[in-house]
Amino acid sequence: MLLMSSLVASQLVMAGGIVSNTNQHAAYQRNFAREATSEIDAAYSNPAGLSFKEDGLEMAFSYQATFQERKTASTSPTFAMNSASLGEATRNYVGEIKAPFIPSLQLAYKKNNWAFYTNIAVSGGGGSCKFADGMGSTESTVSSLPTVANAIMGNRPLFNQYSVESNMEGSSYIFSLTLGASHKFDEHFSASLGLRGNYALNKYQGYVKNIQVNNPLGAGMVKPGELSAQMAQMNMIPSSTAQAVAALTADREIDCKQSGFGIAPILGMAVQFDRVRFGARYEFRTKIELENDTKNDARMPAYEDGLSLRSDVPAILATGLDVDLCKSLTLGLAYRHYFDNMAKISAYDSEWFNKAKYTGKGTSDIAAALEWKINDKWTVSATGMRTQYNVEDRFQSDLNFSLSCWSIGGGLKFSPVANIDINLAYFGVNYDDDYTKVYAPDMASYNPGRTDVYNRTANSFAAGINYRFGNKSKQAETVEQ
């Protein structure tokens, strides 16, 4: 009768597809269209563009902080029997996502026509999601308990209240290391080849405990296992029924860690002219198999100790165009497509299925940015992006849902001395209308079904520093003059 709902990896991504993070440098948050750049953050966004840099070694470190709320308004007739809110059929659940420290590091060395680079970042996930009061999918399996108990008692209306303590928390990280090289074939064209290793680490902890119903033999609330034992002693129900009730309503806990590793190549190209620059990269799908390390007997198929699960990082095609409208003003455009539907991501509801199969044709981003170079020390920018998810209804759940959105960002770059750039940026997300999902009744378990309405908010802040060793850039020389 009662099964604790599986706690799956919450999508903690602020920018990207259902898995991928594209905000891997502070400059991205003030300019979503970085795919044609040849600055140091090209180690992620446009590797081929690095061979157009000035000779020398450059390093960048960025710090990002991301905060989200995932809100679910869940409605079911049986929720009205919750003793904490009798008569209220709608329960509100909030999942708080906190990623207060997401670091990234880029290194690039350019000599003549060659550039060598590395990018170390959190390329997926990046924080923890906590549902302090549980969620509708969990409570709905408990809320029908009074109805089931009445049926056991010959449909006598003895039970009309329940209570439960529930808490779910999960964290998800994909740590990545990219190594690669870029070669400039002539003054206009370059190409790159890289290899990225992804280490995925997920942790889940949660419980459903202290389930109680009103006591028809006395006052207050009582655990079903204790009550059924009393009823069995009074010959009101068979002892086998009492044992089954105790087992099905016992406390459930989960403490599970999942980890896995995968490698994939990255191809890139860049074309540059005096006032126009173009960049493109293709990241191949990374196959990752996660293995469960479960400390307790969770009695849930998704968390069986030693079980292997697929959790691929989808392939990405990214293109960008920068156009100098005048000496101080640049327009940036970018398009990214995430081939989510071609990945494999194991998920479990009442059966195992490939969650990525229900992402339609994948996810797409279209971004634009304006960057104004005020002088050699100050640059400001503003940016916007449309992210279109094409997920189907089965993909969505109160644990993990994706909503199409508009993102707005802005910030500045400050060069206090010749070889240092400081980036400061912010971006926020405005999600589309709420998504409504209807769960059909399950008469076998006396579950009347429920309706969920999903919404979310998100904000992110970033700061970063770029440092050029040795040879000074042309911009730095201008500053000195």
Is the pLDDT confidence value at 125 over 90?
Answer: no
Is the pLDDT confidence value at 359 over 60?
Answer: yes
Strand, coil or helix: 150: helix
> Which residues, in sequence order, are bridge partners of residue 179?
118, 195
Dihedral sign of CA atoms 286, 342, 129, 124 in order: positive
- For the stretch 193-251, pLDDT in tens is 999 999 999 999 989 999 999 999 888 999 999 999 999 999 999 999 999 899 889 99
Give backbone dihedrals phi and psi of 44, rounded to 5 degrees, phi first: -105, -55
pLDDT recorded at residue 471: 53
- For the stretch 275-315, pLDDT in tens is 999 999 999 999 999 999 998 766 677 888 899 999 999 99
State which amino acid sits at residue 59.
M
Bridge-based pairing of strands 56-75 and 90-111 is antiparallel
- For the stretch 376-398, pLDDT in tens is 999 999 999 999 999 999 999 98
| Rounded Cα distance, 176 and 124, in Å | 9
Whether the CB-CB separation of 60 and 193 falls below 8 Å is answered with: no
Nearest in space to 182 (alpha carbons), one of 41, 43, 28: 43
Whether the CB-CB separation of 459 and 426 falls below 8 Å is answered with: yes
Predicted structure pTM score? 0.91
Can you read off the two tokens belonging to residue 191?
A: 């190409």
- For the stretch 424-444, pLDDT in tens is 999 999 999 899 999 999 888
Bridge-based pairing of strands 90-111 and 162-184 is unpaired
Is 463 or 5 the better-scoring residue by pLDDT? 463
Give backbone dihedrals phi and psi of 182, rounded to 5 degrees, phi first: -130, 140
**For residue 48, what are the contacts with CB-CB under 8 A and spacing of at least 6?**
42, 182, 190, 191, 192, 268, 269, 270, 279, 280, 281
Give backbone dihedrals phi and psi of 420, rounded to 5 degrees, phi first: -130, 135
pLDDT exceeding 70 applies to what percent of the chain? 94
Strand, coil or helix: 148: helix
